[in-house]
């Protein structure tokens, strides 16, 4: 397992927490540190700034900041990843709204409904990323 690299202030803060928990109960600080390292090892590296992320079953749904994508075309900024392997499963299709077509955040998980910058609430197929339906909300 690779250890997380911390900048000095964050590392000092983490070590202070470990000492605090060890003072509360012998060995508790080590369990806390192991939990932090385990969570860090399982963390999904973000490709862009994340607007929203949800875990549904064994899948991680990530809405990246649509501003990080090419201008003048749909951003298609909703991605899913396997929780176990971190591999991309699918990238949601666009809704045909042109350059204003970017997802903004998860509205509901079941069914998966995601807001869109073009003023649509979009129901997304969990298995494929296809847009099942869209409702204009403005």
Strand 59-64 relative to strand 50-56, pairing: antiparallel
Strand 88-91 relative to strand 78-82, pairing: antiparallel
Cα dihedral sign for 91, 97, 101, 107? negative
pLDDT in tens, 61-105: 999 999 999 999 999 999 999 988 889 999 999 999 998 899 999
Q: Does 17 have pLDDT greater than 60?
A: yes
Give the per-residue pLDDT at 81.
93
**Domains annotated on the chain, with CATH:** 8-42 (no CATH), 50-136 (2.40.10.480)
Q: What is the pTM of this model?
A: 0.72
Q: Does 5 have pLDDT greater than 60?
A: no
Backbone angles phi, psi at 12, to 5 degrees: -60, -40
């Amino acid at each position: 397992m690779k250890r997380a690299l911390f900048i000095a202030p964050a590392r000092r803060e983490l070590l202070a927490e470990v000492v605090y928990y060890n003072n509360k109960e012998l060995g508790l600080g080590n369990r806390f540190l192991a939990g932090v390292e385990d969570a860090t090892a399982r963390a999904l590296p973000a490709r862009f700034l994340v607007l929203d992320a949800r875990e549904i079953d064994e899948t991680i749904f990530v809405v990246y900041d649509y501003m990080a994508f090419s201008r003048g075309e749909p951003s298609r900024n909703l991605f899913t990843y396997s929780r176990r392997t971190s591999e991309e499963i699918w990238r949601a299709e666009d809704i045909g709204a042109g350059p204003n077509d970017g997802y903004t955040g998860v509205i509901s998980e079941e069914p998966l409904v995601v807001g869109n910058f073009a003023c649509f609430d979009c129901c997304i197929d969990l298995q494929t990323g296809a847009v099942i339906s869209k409702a204009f909300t403005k």
